[in-house]
Chains A and B, each alone.
Chain A
């Protein structure tokens, strides 16, 4: 009884990790991607961060501005890497790879979530970069192992969330040109309508409302709570996790429904 009930579940988890494993195996053949990605968070922290920290234009309470944006920049770089992840499935569709996976008995949700997780593991390198830069800039980090584990989990989940969102866009637009257009249109609003580089309480009312509907806001809040000593939080870690997990779940279900569109 229990085994018949559990089999689809364990099967689903097993298949998800098979997909993740092979996505990650591809990575060891190409490291340049990891290096070039390090540039963007470096620019944001070293230039944008330093300039705004000096001007004192941002009122971030009792947290220094550089400390305030370090988790924001980590969240941003996770978003920027993940939001263009869907281009890979368009590429795989133009070859015949997606079709081959769709003809296999693998659950669609496992194909989607497996790819999402692999994006999650890929973006962990961004966490390493941001931690390195933060050390360099004297950000007061929280080195508690549990806090570090939280950062790891949040980065993986956030990348899963936004790469799945990206995959959904890919399933709808199906061509590289349109995908790049939509991706670019979405990234900046998601970034600016969040608490990544300024606190939401300096926003006009309407934007505050938008930012509270933006999953990135909760990612930033969770990272800020876990990364910084003193654990400053707006919503609390459990609300952050709940929003991130529920949003990811909904997106995976939508993605699984749309994934077969790639075969046609």
Chain B
């Protein structure tokens, strides 16, 4: 087993009386592609927010790339990339400018910046559109630019919250091709949440299923399917552990957020 890059110990987050994430314990190895599944409200996004230092945990601890999320937040931030569910690049800047600002904020050496940005654009197949305003980009291009932006500093771990929501199947495949290339070329650990079981199935080394803030199941796709006896699909596993299909139980807020994202992504 490779060394763990992510170690979560009894991580808990409460909002008033509501426990969003409940004593989550989990370890992810370097270079792994790891999916967090669960119905809406299961605590996936809250988990990602804690791991990316956006939200302090109520109790518990986690280390990312060897740094504590509670006491070494700035070191954690240098070591990770984050692609939020919503659109996180600026439509009123060009693709190139969106990358340049993050090259500067992450202290990439000045002389290396042009080469690194050119490389990231090339890698994400955006070179021809670098000088265009992002407002004119298609949804798939926006997502690829966001991934380029979050990986410019070569993070050890890339967190992605619903990376392909609102994309058509072709754009979705393109995004995944680039993500897997990223792992192959740079050894980036991918930690993502998704609603699409087939994505988890085809791209992930391991899967965790969360239900009401708790970790209900953990393992490779095969292990999870096997745990229910022969002939079961990942969907059966999901229904068994999460109590419903991934699409059920959507709140009004999450549905409108999804649709708004989908709409902006064109």
Contacts and interface: CB of A to CB of B under 8 A. Distances in A.
Interface in B84-107: 84-90, 92-93, 97, 101-102, 104-107
A96 B89 CA distance: 8
A96 B87 contact: yes
B52 interface: yes
A21 B82 CA distance: 23
Given A99-B84, A100-B84, A102-B54, A26 B106 contact: no
A220 to B, nearest CB: 33
Interface in A77-116: 94-97, 99-106
Given A95-B88, A97-B88, A263-B49, A105 B106 contact: yes
Interface stretch (B73-81, B173-181, B183-191, B216-224): B73-81
B26 interface: no
A119 B97 CA distance: 19
A96 B54 contact: no
Contacts of A102: 53-54
Given A25-B97, A264-B54, A104 B102 contact: yes
B137 to A, nearest CB: 14
Contacts of B102: 104
Contact of B80 (A25, A103, A106, A264): A103
B149 interface: yes
Contacts of A11: 107
Given A96-B87, A100-B149, A29 B92 contact: yes
B74 A105 contact: yes
Interface string A21-38: 110011001100000000
A100 B88 contact: yes
Contacts of B84: 96, 99-100
A224 interface: no
Contacts of B52: 103
B56 to A, nearest CB: 9
B82 A22 contact: no
A96 B85 contact: yes
Nearest to A14: B104
Interface in B33-82: 49, 52-55, 74, 77-78, 80-82
What secondary structure prevails in chain A residues at the interface with B? helix
A6 to B, nearest CB: 15
A103 B105 contact: no
Contacts of B97: 22, 25
A15 interface: yes
A22 B82 CA distance: 20
A99 B82 contact: yes
Contact of A105 (B49, B78, B82): B78
B77 A104 contact: yes
A175 to B, nearest CB: 13
A18 B105 CA distance: 7
Interface in B150-168: 150
Interface string B182-224: 0000000000000000000000000000000000000000000
Nearest to A17: B104
Nearest to B53: A103
A263 B86 contact: no
Nearest to B15: A264
A71 B105 CA distance: 37
A18 B92 CA distance: 16
A260 interface: yes
A25 B54 contact: no
Q: Which 8 A-B pairs have the closest CB atoms?
A: A96-B84, A96-B88, A96-B86, A263-B54, A100-B88, A26-B92, A103-B82, A105-B77
13 contacts: A15-B105, A95-B264, A97-B87, A97-B88, A100-B88, A101-B105, A102-B53, A103-B77, A103-B80, A105-B106, A106-B105, A263-B49, A263-B54
Interface of B: 49, 52-55, 74, 77-78, 80-82, 84-90, 92-93, 97, 101-102, 104-107, 133, 149-150, 264
Given A99-B86, A105-B107, 6 more contacts: A18-B101, A22-B90, A30-B92, A103-B52, A104-B77, A105-B106
